[in-house]
Chains A and B, each alone.
Chain A
Amino acid sequence: MENNKSIVPVLKIQNLKKKFGSNLVLNGFSMELFEGENLVIMGKSGSGKSVMIKCLVGLLKSDEGTIEITGKNIKELSQKEMNSLRTEIGFLFQGSALYDSMTVRENLEFPLRTYKEKLTNKYTLVNEALESVGLAHAIDLMPEELSGGMKRRVALARAIIMCPKIVIFDEPTTGLDPITAKEIIELMKDIQKKYNTSSLIITHDVDCARVISNRMILLIDGINYAEGTFEKLSSSKDNKIQAFFK
């Protein structure tokens, strides 16, 4: 992805700092995500990965630093503009976060409701998204009737229903058996190709990182400690880096 340096990134984070009380979680983290790229961020539990992506979508406010999404600095946006920008970002939560009082169809229709899509168009979009994840038959089921893998697929369908430019995956394979995890990874690749999205993937899963990443960042001590391809980082002699690949 070296040639990407010449193009404008869809997402740019500079010197991001975030503190909880006296605990400094992010200490000047910087990164860039380019169009069509799959960027994997790895880090130990508590290293600030989730805090970083929450700052990214405005769920948390950073103490310092700038975040630019498609060229817009999110700190300068009004709530309305931020909500509009959020439609360009799909988010797959670690626990799927499906609305458990709604059917699969209603879960997928929920992000569309603000934008007053015509009902027929809504129906087509929901069906298309569900077909993309191979769950068209589950449209009228409740989340409680779905398995863990199916929930993750529905959550993925919900993340892409607005045809976002960026999809953020928070631990997409955590809690899944190896076969289902592999299916989810394949699905992520297919969706990335179909919708031409840029993906930011937070994971602990080395297999997932190896299969899906174009580039990786290791988040250690609140900073971008190391950056490069999977092959480059996995062959590093640095003990801190090696610890991730053992």
Chain B
Amino acid sequence: MKKPLDFLNNLKSFFIEIGELSLFAKRFFKESISRPFEFKELLRQCFNMGNRSLVLVGVTGFILGLVFTLQSRPTLLEFGAVSWMPSMVSISIVREIGPVIIALICTGRISSGIGAELGSMRVTEQIDAMEVSGTNPFKYLVVTRIMAATLILPLLIIFGDAIALFGSALVENLKGNVSFLLYFNKVFDALKFSDIIPATIKSFFFGFAIGLVGCFKGYNCKKGTVGVGEASNSAVVYTSMLLFIIDFIAVFISDIFFEI
């Protein structure tokens, strides 16, 4: 009898958490349009998130392009379709694989970082200290971080996609003697706005989800130092799940508007 009850309790807490997350998002929108605006802190957060994730995204993107091309090459060769490689790789990476993989990488880097940082600020009473000093900690800590993640993630994804395509071009250059110029000409011939625009719009939502969940988990952290670990860990789990849900919705909507 205990197990079904546990399941119901878990389900109940899950829905309560979804409700709290929605209220947190609502508060974000409300606070983000009211003065004072924390531009300096926003820029600092953008710089921190972008700068610290750049190498990770670059390396991931490069390996992604490299591996994807190496794995696809034998099959395409078999069908005599290796000349389709730039089109196939570019469309796959720009539309789907690049945004999702890079967003997942950034989840581990940014969302868990925000969860741990705000969580430790909560348990060491730093957030209380901000509130007591007459400042709005939500605006200073949460609004700036969510906005920064929303603005920075599309840039990181564009950067990661470019590096992935470079990795792919390098394989084609070494294995198939295809020049970089020819490779990128084919890439730009294959890519349409209907590939780039939905992917870019989607990446803003990915950034928003990464910032929102990280901040939500960290800002509401409880149970001392154990809670900080839990906040960081659950920020990654929840964000990863949310990214796939957003991706599904985005593909569904872009299918209606852009006829994939």
Q: Which A residues lie at the B interface, using CB under 8 A?
A: 54, 57-59, 83-84, 86-87, 89, 91, 93-95, 97-101, 110-111, 113-115, 158, 162
Contact = CB atoms under 8 A, between A and B. Distances in A.
A93 B134 contact: no
B135 interface: yes
B36 interface: yes
Nearest to A110: B133
B8 interface: no
- The contact size tier of chain B is 10 to 19
Interface stretch (B50-58, B60-68, B120-128, B237-245): B120-128
B127 to A, nearest CB: 9
A91 B129 contact: yes
Interface string B132-164: 111110000000000000000000000000000
Contacts of A58: 131
Contact of A86 (B121, B124, B134): B134
Nearest to A84: B134
A115 B130 CA distance: 14
Contact of B132 (A84, A91, A94): A91
- In the complex, which of the residues B121, B126, B134 has the most CB atoms of chain A within 10 Å of its own CB atom? B134
A83 B126 CA distance: 16
A99 B129 contact: yes
Contacts of B124: 95, 97, 100
B152 to A, nearest CB: 18
A87 B134 contact: yes
A60 to B, nearest CB: 10
B112 to A, nearest CB: 17
17 contacts: A57-B132, A58-B131, A59-B131, A59-B132, A83-B136, A84-B134, A86-B131, A86-B134, A87-B134, A89-B132, A91-B132, A93-B125, A97-B129, A100-B124, A110-B133, A114-B135, A158-B129
Contacts of A101: 117
A93 B36 CA distance: 26
A97 B120 CA distance: 11
B115 to A, nearest CB: 15
Contacts of A162: 133-134
A211 to B, nearest CB: 26
Contacts of B130: 99, 110
Interface string B86-121: 000000000000000000000000000000010001
A99 B126 contact: yes
A101 B125 CA distance: 14
Contacts of A114: 36, 134-135
B143 to A, nearest CB: 15
A111 B125 contact: no
A57 B131 CA distance: 9
- In the complex, which of the residues B121, B124, B129, B131 has the most CB atoms of chain A within 10 Å of its own CB atom? B129
Nearest to A54: B128
A97 B135 contact: no
A178 B117 CA distance: 32
B119 to A, nearest CB: 13
B97 to A, nearest CB: 35
A115 to B, nearest CB: 8
Contacts of B125: 93-95, 97
A246 to B, nearest CB: 30
Contact of A97 (B36, B117, B128): B128
Contacts of A98: 126
A111 B136 CA distance: 11
Contacts of A89: 132
A58 B117 CA distance: 24
Contacts of B128: 54, 59, 93, 97
Contacts of A97: 124-126, 128-129
A97 B126 CA distance: 5
Contacts of B126: 97-100
Nearest to B132: A91
List of 5 A-B pairs having minimum Cβ-Cβ separation, nearest first: A111-B133, A97-B129, A97-B125, A83-B134, A86-B134
- In the complex, which of the residues B36, B121, B126, B132 has the most CB atoms of chain A within 10 Å of its own CB atom? B132
B133 to A, nearest CB: 4
A101 B128 CA distance: 16
